[in-house]
Structure 1
């Protein structure tokens, strides 16, 4: 009875969570195998895998997948490398270190839409943006970043948003660093680069694995930054899988194809998650 009571008390929460996940999934699967275009309500019925075929043969599909992988890879590389560098710079005590750390992690608490608007109007605007003023100061022509380099601009915007998260994880990990081991290495004549290679990087291995896993899962669904700044353009230059699903759902009014795309994104996210969980597990076993 004592063992059964906790399970009974937890059952409503578990059941609610299960329904919250399974009902949308079942509805998505249902809509993915029927013809359901809001502009053509009279045309409906079971179509099997036709929606999936239509989604993967969309002219924008290959570009969207490539952009998703480029965005994912570059943001992870930037946040991990720069995050480790910032964490190491702020690891040693100095006046105002706590204030600096708070300022470093503050961008993570900004909403993605606000972050995108900040970069679009304050930083990357070709007329009055900060970058345009810097270019003009050095006598160079201002760059319309969101038009000329759309995907690069999105990478910068998303990296700035996620860099504080990576920095916070690495700063926390460095707090458990064995200071006596560092002092012993200095006494043995090890320079900073040797300490970085043989002490700091191995110590941060688990933290890097966790950062990569969490960021990969969330970055597969980047949408607000693209919608707010480039709208997926010019053309498909900054369209990722999430934005392609949006175009099919709300711009094409085709709920069936959009549902098929959503299932593709779910499969992609789960494959990435399984791969990364195994990677993290191996790292934690070391």
Structure 2
């Protein structure tokens, strides 16, 4: 009970303060701005073009990372389930990016890999006679998606590899004896077996991907303009760059509602799959 009580206070107090400030006029630069704001903070948020751009970027980031991690994770899980020299080392190397902090991963991609002058990709482009590309300036959202996908692909691989290893080999052997090729075995035996694991991966990743922040802050700062701004970064910019706590809290409430709607449908989908 004491532990549960601490956790409840830890969650409820920030939520209650967010709800309170969402209906208040509160600006940290001008302390004279005070009072009940009603729904004006929400109206300002909904009519702000940056809000709709950040919502679109959030959904694009979420959907793209889910597709990349689930598809590549499934293929790599099937590959790493096969016997080949150095398989254990390859598994460790494939899973290791998941244990790197988001800030460090973003710095590695920004400075070591994709920097147009001294990054690995830029140096290779110059050696082959191509003009280096500043990916984070020209393709900001796609670059952020690549960084986040690189971080979460090991998680999907770990879950899906465990599910592949639990597949009954007798089914594969029977299908092979009946003349089914590798492609048919994958689509009619392996993939249906992975459906539950894929649902779990999608649910867990969705909850965390809605709050992606460090990668955007380190690489693009939400720019150019609002090209890579998501809801989490928009709330940060309103609160700690523009010092408008009321607008930031209204954005936080919208983000909480969106996250709960997504989580509700995902949990129901996963529960339905687990019952079958």
- What TM-score do the two structures reach when normalised by structure 2? 0.98
Residue matched to 2:182: 192
Alignment of 1:60 onto 2:50? yes
Comparing 136-145 with 211-220, which one deviates more in the overlay? 136-145
**Tell me, which stretches of 5 or more residues in structure 2 are unaligned?**
none
1:263 counterpart = 2:260: no
Pair 1:89-2:85 in alignment: no
Give 1:4's aligned residue.
none
Residue from 189, 192, 198 that aligns with 1:202: 192
2:125 paired with 1:135: yes
Distance 2:273 2:125 in 1: 44
Mapped partners of 1:181, 1:44: distance in 2: 68
Map 1:1-286; keep pairs closer than 5 Å. Answer: 11-286=1-276
Please identify runs of 4+ aligned residues in structure 1 that moved more than 4 A. none
Cα distance between partner residues in 2 of 1:146 and 1:62: 21
Q: How far 1:268 sits from its partner (Å)?
A: 0.5
Stretches of structure 1 that go unaligned for 5 or more consecutive residues are 1-10
- Measured after TM superposition, the shift of residue 95 of structure 1 is 2.1
Give SS of 1:233's match: coil
- Between the aligned partners of 2:33 and 2:82, the Cα distance in structure 1 is 67
RMSD (Å) for aligned C-alpha atoms: 0.9
